[in-house]
Chain A
Amino acid sequence: MPGAIHVAYLKHYPPAWSGALESGVADVFPLEVRGTPLNIDLKPAYAPDRRQYHATLILASLLRHLPDKHTKIVGVTPVDLYIPVLTFVFGQAQLNGPGAVISTYRLRNEFYGLPPDDGLLLERAIKEAVHELGHAFGLVHCPSVSCVMHASSYVEDVDIKGESFCTNCMDTLEAGVETLGRYAV
């Protein structure tokens, strides 16, 4: 399926709201979005001392399952992700590359001692998936607080920003999507 976006569910996923997540991504990117469970071994990425998973290593595994070079893939996992120098990351992407990965671990209300809220979790997951895919399409962080490409260090930042791109980011994005869209079937 060239010219498309794959949402790959890792480790115990897909969640019940996977269809809604794919629709949310498809609302922003004018490409075909398809969800698939992906059984990759996360153990090599686990750091026992941190009790977290190395996002870069997961991303590398994910890319080995990239169906076609003209597609983008975003992995969705419930495990907590980190990169060596930071305490955690909500997700990671290759800037202008084919892949990205997001974690829902710190997007859940329960992590902050609050009652579960699947609606809010879905909203946050869509924003993070779109944000990381934005990086994969070459976008960098945006100063506009309402743009989905605004950097988020805390879950509150994720809640504040919007689900779509600002005009400037949309201009940059269009070129990347157009290139990928040429391979769409």
Chain B
Amino acid sequence: MSKRKILIVDDEMSVRQSLGEWFLEDGFEVETAEDGNVALQKMGHGPYNIVLVDLKMPGMDGIALQKRIREIDSRATVIILTAYASVDTAVEALKLGAFDYVTKPVDPDDLSNLVRNALRQQELSEENVRLKEKVSALNQASPIVGKSKKMQHVLEMISTVAETDSTVVIRGESGTGKELIARAIHAQSKRRFFPIVAVNAGSIPETLLESELFGHEKGAFTGAQYRRKGKIELAHGGTLFLDEIGDVTAKMQIDLLRVLESKRFTRLGGNQEITSDFRLVCATNKDLEGMVADGRFREDLYYRINVFSIQVPPLRERPEDVLPLATFFLEKYARAMGKPVPALTAVAEELLCRHRWPGNVRELENAIERALVIGKGPTIAPDDLPFREDQPDLARSARSLAALERVHIERVLRETDGNMTQAAKVLGIDRATLYNKIKRYGIRR
């Protein structure tokens, strides 16, 4: 936490000096000013948490100075000091936004309480702003786009489970948006005003994962120069999102089980037990049941986490969501790049709908982002997409070797704009053979 700053404005040197020392002992960074003009210059060195202003000063008085201070920094808390107790001036100062008004000499306890309350109010108002921003960010977080029946079912499940405190396992192929689902659960839960802390267990080596999750004390291992809180501790009050739970090692499974049962743990190298109240949401693309059967995943941990399971369907199983998702990503990236939102040509739309999306929504998002980067015109054409045709789809529809050959020749002809010489070269056959095959398969050029 950075040092709190205070500016003391009083024409009496003894007051500036004694108050300055008093606040230094209280851990403040102190600046003093002998009159209003010096104070206004010093406001430029701020921001100050508190400005103590003497009411009666030669030149600019405390009331006038307070007005100017509020124009420069409305967040600074102004406390008026005066040797003259006057209800009128007190009321005027308070009307102008002073936090409070004290008469010199001040009882040390009154001054301590006043400053403590002023700082508390400042913290609360800053926290209020932060929370509002957070809530607004949560509301604006990537929505789950999907009108398909399967996604509607997922959304219903999110609403159902969010209200509870149950552990959730989100299943689905890579790129289906499991983290988005976890964040949606958190955003709808009563824990939404606390953090959601994400850890990808699959991407962190076991030794680091332990420290990442549980934290460590200073000197716990070589390089541990400072005490560090772990993700479990940071998730206190909120949600811990553990991605790739199927990838954690046997030892870590035991440690995790212990924490989930007791919600207590110790930092690495420490002996103080720490309690963290968090809700666990985990995700995996692994077959946990198969892993339990093979003995690669602890059965007790499986039952502990598998309280509620949400299966996120792959994109190929909800083709009706492809175009709404594509439109969503077009708008998102166009806005980020400061470009007008381009439209998809009919052919590009057809291509997107026919693609099988093995990388799921992530692949679609990347394809749209790339199209916006390389696309020049007001529309996104097939050439802007990272694929022309969908091989896996063709492979599936073409069941015989002959059918596959026909589809392949059609594709090469399209790519070469019907140029027979080039197509024959790409296919590795001569022109005559190509003519014969076109005739045999009835391919229209």
**Residues of chain A at the chain B interface (Cβ within 8 Å):** 50, 56, 82-89, 92-95, 135, 140-141, 151, 153-154
A22 to chain B, nearest CB (A): 24
Which residues on the A side are within 8 Å of B106 (C-beta)?
85-87
Contact code string B93-107 (vs A, CB < 8 Å = 1, else 0) = 000000000001111
Other than the known A56-B14, A151-B25, what 16 A-B pairs have Cβ atoms closer than 8 Å? A82-B105, A83-B18, A84-B12, A84-B14, A84-B105, A85-B19, A85-B81, A86-B18, A86-B105, A86-B106, A86-B111, A87-B107, A151-B26, A153-B107, A153-B108, A153-B112
**B residues at A contact (CB < 8 Å):** 12, 14-15, 17-19, 21-22, 24-27, 81, 104-109, 111-112
Contacts of A83 in B (CB 8 A): 14, 18-19, 21-22
- Shortest A102–chain B CB gap in Å is 13
Most buried by A among B17, B18, B106, B109: B18
Closest B-chain residue to A142, C-beta based?
Answer: B27
Instruction: Give me the 3 closest cross-chain CB pairs, A-B, nearest first.
Output: A153-B109, A83-B18, A140-B27
Q: How far is it, in angstroms, between the C-alpha of A140 and the C-alpha of B25 when the chains are bound?
A: 5
**Chain A residues within an 8 Å CB radius of B18:** 56, 83-86
Smallest CB separation, B340 vs chain A (Å): 54
Can you list 16 A-B contacts with CB-CB less than 8 angstroms, sorted by A residue number?
Answer: A56-B14, A82-B105, A83-B19, A83-B21, A84-B15, A85-B19, A85-B22, A86-B105, A86-B111, A87-B105, A95-B21, A95-B24, A135-B25, A140-B24, A140-B26, A153-B107
Tell me the bound Cα distance from A154 to B111 in angstroms. Answer: 12
Q: Which residues of B contact A82 (CB under 8 A)?
A: 105
Complex Cα spacing A136 to B106, Å: 24
Are A141 and B19 in contact, CB atoms less than 8 angstroms apart?
no
Residues of chain A within 8 A (CB-CB) of B17 are: 56
Of B15, B24, B26, the contact of A85 (CB 8 Å cutoff)? B15
Residue contact A86 to B12, C-beta cutoff 8 Å: no
What residues of chain A lie closer than 8 Å to B25, measured between beta carbons?
A: 93, 95, 135, 140-141, 151
Contact of B109 among A95, A135, A154 (CB under 8 A): A154
- The residue that A141 contacts in the complex, of B12, B27, B104, with Cβ under 8 A, is B27
- CB-nearest residue of chain B relative to A52? B105
Bound-complex Cα distance A50 to B104 (A): 12
A82 to B12, CA, bound (A): 16
* A151 surroundings in chain B (CB, below 8 A): 25-26, 112
Nearest neighbor of B15 in chain A, beta-carbon distance: A85
Smallest CB–CB gap between A93 and chain B, Å? 7
> In the complex, which residues of chain B have a beta carbon less than 8 angstroms from the beta carbon of A88?
108
